[in-house]
Chain A
Amino acid sequence: MSTLEIKDLHVSIEGKNILKGVNLTMKTGEIHAIMGPNGTGKSTLSEAIMGHPAYKVTQGEVLLNGENILGLPVDERARAGLFLAMQYPAEIPGVTNAEFIRGAINARRPEDDALSIRSFLKQLDETMSVLDMTEEMADRYLNEGFSGGEKKRNEILQLMMIKPKFAILDEIDSGLDIDALKVVSRGVNKMRGPEFGSLIITHYQRLLNYIVPDVVHVMMGGRIVKQGGPELAKRLEDEGYAGLRDELGLDIKLVDEDA
C-alpha cells in the first residue's frame, strides 16, 4: 500500500496565489474525487503535484510514502509512481504513440530488462480494445490532430499501460459524450485494486456515476471546503456550488454562477 499526502499546500502562478492551504490524504485502493467550480484551482493542484514548472509551491508539502517529492523533477515524480491525465495534453509530432508509450514503460525498467516489443504490442492491443480504440491510433503521432475525445482516451491508454501508483485525472470527462464517458470509466475501473489510487477531478457529478468514489472533496477558493461520500456529489449536482458556498458562509465569487 502507498500513501499520498498533501499538506497545507500553497501554490501561486504568475504571482497570483491560487491554492491557499490544501490538505488531502489518500491511499492506494481508494478513489477520491475533487469537485469544484471553474477557476477554483483544481488544475493548479494537479499540476503542482506533478511538477509543472509554471506553478510555484510557496508553502506546504506533498509526500509520497512519507517522502517529500516537491524537490524532484517531473520525470522522477512520474517514475516514483505519479501520473497526471492532463486536461490539455500536448501534441508531439514525429513521435508515434506506440513508441512513446513503450519508452515510458522502459524508463521505469532497468536498461538490461526492457520490455520486449512482442509483449508490449500484445498489452497495447488488449488495452486499446478495452478503450474501443482503433489500431491505427498506435501509429499516429502522439496526440497530433487527435479529437478532444481521442486525447482523453489516449490519456487513459497511457495510464493503463504505465500502471502508476496514483493517477490524477483532470477533467477526463470534459467534452465526452455518454458512450465515450462509459469507455473511459471502464478503463479506470479496470485499474481499481489495492495497488492503485486515483484522484478524479471533475466539474460534474455525471462521471462519478460510472466511477464511484470512496471520498468526495469539494474545492472552492483554493481550499478544500467540505468532504463526504458519493452522496455529496449528488447533492452538489442538485443544489449547485452556490448553495454549498452560502451554507458554509464562504465569500467566494463563482465564475460560472448559474443557479
Chain B
Amino acid sequence: MTVEFENYPEIKSYAKSVTEPKWFTDIRVKALESQPKLELPNFEKIRYHRWPIQLKEKLKKVSSNAELLDDLPIEDAKHLVVQLGQDTLQKSGLTTFEEQGVVICDWQEALEKHSGLVQKYFMQKAIKFDEDLLTAQHVANLTSGLFIYVPKNTVVKEPLTTYFVQDSTQKNDYVHHVILVVDSNSEFSYLENLMTVGSEKTTANIIVEVIAQADSHIKFASVDRLGANTTTYLNRRGYLERNSKIDWSMGMMNDGNIVGDFDSDLVGDGAHSEVKVVAISTGKQVQGIDTRVTNIGRHTIGHILQHGVILSRSTLTFNGIGHIIKGAKGADAQQESRVLMLSTKAKGDANPILLIDDNDVTAGHAASVGRVNQEQLYYLMSRGLPKKVAERLVIRGFLGPVLAAIPSKVIEEQLKVTIERKLVDGQKDE
C-alpha cells in the first residue's frame, strides 16, 4: 500500500520539522487512516468513554520553558533523563551505560540514529498500532519519548531514572512513547516518573513497551503523579520471551482521571511477570486500573498484587485479569486486589477475572473492598494521634504488603514519601 502524505498536510509538515524516517511517517498515516474502523477499548467496570481521553490537538512541534522544572520534586539521580513536554532537558550519568553498549535516546534522536532498531520493535511485539482507537491515535500523534536498548549479555548494575514532565501550561496533547528493550541474558533496572506542570485541561496518551528477551530480567518501577486536569490513557505493556522476568512496581499517585492499562504477555516458556500496583484516589478523580497477565508459554508465572486507597468522592477500580491460553501447561496465575475506603462517598471496586483455557495449571484470586478498621483507628487515637495521622498509619499498614514486595528499597522509600504526600493533600478535602 502506498501512503499519500499529500492528504495529510499536518503530518507532512511535522515530519519535515523533525526529519523522521519515512517508515515512521508511513505508520503515522496508516494509524490515522485506520481510525474510522476502530473503537475505544473496553475495560470491565471502567466507564471512561465520555472523558476527553481522545486526542484532538493538531500534531505540532512545540517547546517548553525549562524554568518550569524549577519547582518540581525532581531527584538528582545518578543516571538521569529529564524531559519536559517534547524537549529533553537533561541527560546525565549515562556514560557508564553507553560504555556497556546501552542505547538511551530521546524519540527524535532514536529515529535519526537507530531507525532500524526502533522499527524492529515499535508497535511490533507488545502492541499493534491498530489495536484500538487509542493506540491508533497515539501512533498518529506521537511527539515525544525515549528509546532504551540494552544489548545481549549485559548486566547494568545501577538503575536509570527518568522524569517525563507533561507541560500543561500550554493546551497541548501529551503523546509520549517509551520503548525499553532488554536483549537476551541481560539485566536492567528502570524508574520512571510521570508528572505534570501547569493546570490547563489536557489529554495524555502514553504507551510504554517493555520487551524482555530470553533470559533477561527487568525491574520496572514507576511513580505517576499526573495533574488534576490531565485526562490520561496510560498503557504499559510487557512482552516476555523465554525464561525472562519483569518485576513491575507501579505507584498510581495521579490527581486526574486515568485509565491504566497494564499488561504482560508471557510468550516464552518459563516467562515470569510480577505486577505490584499501589494506587491512591483522592478528591473527585477516577482511576481505573486494568491489570492483565496472559500466560501463553508453558510454565509461565503471572502474579498480580494491587492495593489501593480511596478518599473523598473518588473512585478506584482494580481489574485483575489472569488469562491462561490453551497449551500453557504448568502455568501459574495468581492475583490479589484490595481497596480500602476512607470515605462513605468514595467508590471502590476490585474485580478478579480468571480466564483459564488449559487444565494443567494453577490459579487463584483474592479481592476485597473494605472500610478502615475502626478498632485500629480508635487504638491509635487513644494514644493522642489525630484522626488523619491515625488514618495514614492504618493505610500504611494496608499498603505494606505491596510495598514490602517491591524489589528495590530505594523505590519503596520513594513511593512511601509520595504516598504520604498524596494522602496529606487528599485528606484536605475530607
Cα separation A160 to B389 with both chains bound (whole Å): 22
Q: Report the minimal beta-carbon distance from A52 to chain B, rounded to whole angstroms.
A: 6
CB atoms of A78 and B397 under 8 A apart: no
Interfacial chain A residues near B386, Cβ < 8 Å: 75, 107
- Please name all residues of chain A whose beta carbon is closer than 8 Å to the beta carbon of B384 when the two chains form the complex: 75, 78-79, 104, 107-108, 162
Given A100-B393, A107-B389, are A92 and B383 neighbors across the interface (CB < 8 Å)? no
Residue of A nearest to B375 (CB): A90
Inter-subunit contact A90/B378 (CB<8 Å): yes
Give the dominant DSSP class at B's interface. Answer: helix
Cα–Cα distance between A104 and B383 once the two chains are bound (Å): 6
Known A-B contacts A53-B374, A100-B393; A90 and B379 likewise in contact (beta carbons under 8 Å): yes
In the complex, residue of chain A having the shortest beta-carbon distance to the beta carbon of B374: A53
Shortest B91–chain A CB gap in Å is: 37
CB closest chain-B residue, reference A95:
B393
Q: How far does the alpha carbon of A91 sit from the alpha carbon of B377 in the complex, in Å? A: 10
Does B396 lie within 8 Å of A104, measured CB to CB?
A: no
B373 contacts chain A at the CB level, 8 A cutoff: yes
- The count of residues in chain B whose C-beta lies closer than 8 Å to any C-beta of chain A is 23
Chain A residues in 8 Å Cβ range of B387 = 73, 75
Nearest B residue to A54, CB-CB = B374
Cβ 8 A contact of B396, one of A52, A86, A95: A95
Q: Which of B376, B378, B393, B399 is in CB contact (< 8 Å) with A52?
A: B378
CB distance from A163 to the nearest CB of B (A): 11
Chain A: minimal CB distance from B379 (Å)? 4
Is B325 an interface residue, CB under 8 A from the partner? no
A242 within 8 A of B: no
Residue B366 at the A interface, CB < 8 A?
Answer: no
Q: Which residue of B lies closest to A88 (CB)?
A: B375
A6 within 8 A of B: no
B383 touches which of A53, A73, A141, A162 (Cβ 8 Å): A162
Known: A75-B390, A90-B373. A107 touches B385 (CB 8 A): yes
Knowing A90-B375, A94-B396 touch, does A74 contact B382 (C-beta < 8 A)? yes
Q: Indicate if A103 sits at the interface (CB-CB under 8 A).
A: yes
A90 to B385, CA, bound (A): 15
Q: Which residues of B contact A90 (CB under 8 A)?
A: 373, 375-376, 378-380
Inside 8 A of A162's CB, which chain B residues have their CB?
383-384
Q: Is the CB of A75 within 8 A of B385?
A: yes
B residues less than 8 Å from A52 (CB atoms): 378
* CB neighbours of A75 from chain B (8 A): 381-382, 384-387, 390
> A51 CA to B387 CA in the complex, in Å?
13
Chain B CB within 8 A of A60 CB: no
Judge whether A93 is part of the interface by a CB distance below 8 angstroms: yes
Judged by a CB distance under 8 angstroms, whether A89 is at the interface is yes
A18 at the interface (CB under 8 A from B): no
Q: Is B43 an interface residue (CB 8 A)?
A: no
> Which residue on chain B has the smallest CB distance to residue A101?
B383
Nearest residue in A to B394 (C-beta to C-beta)? Answer: A92
B97 at the interface (CB under 8 A from A): no
A93 with B397, Cβ < 8 A, contacts A52-B378, A100-B380 known: yes
Answer whether residue B400 sits at the interface, using C-beta atoms and an 8 A cutoff.
Answer: yes
In the bound complex, what is the Cα–Cα distance between A90 and B384 (angstroms)? Answer: 15
Distance in angstroms between the alpha carbons of A100 and B394 in the assembled complex:
11
Residue B398, interface by CB 8 Å: yes
A50 to B384, CA, bound (A): 11
Asked if A158 is at the interface of the complex by the 8 Å CB criterion, the answer is: yes
Shortest CB-to-CB span from B420 to chain A, Å, is 13
User: CB distance B378 to A141 under 8 Å?
Assistant: no
Interface residues of B, Cβ cutoff 8 Å to A: 373-376, 378-387, 389-390, 393-394, 396-400
A: which residues have CB within 8 A of B? 50-53, 73-75, 78-79, 83-84, 86, 89-95, 100, 103-104, 107-108, 141, 158, 162
Further 7 A-B residue pairs, CB within 8 A, beyond A75-B387, A90-B375: A73-B381, A75-B390, A92-B393, A95-B393, A100-B393, A104-B385, A107-B384
**Closest 6 A-B residue pairs measured CB to CB?**
A94-B397, A94-B400, A90-B379, A78-B384, A104-B383, A93-B397
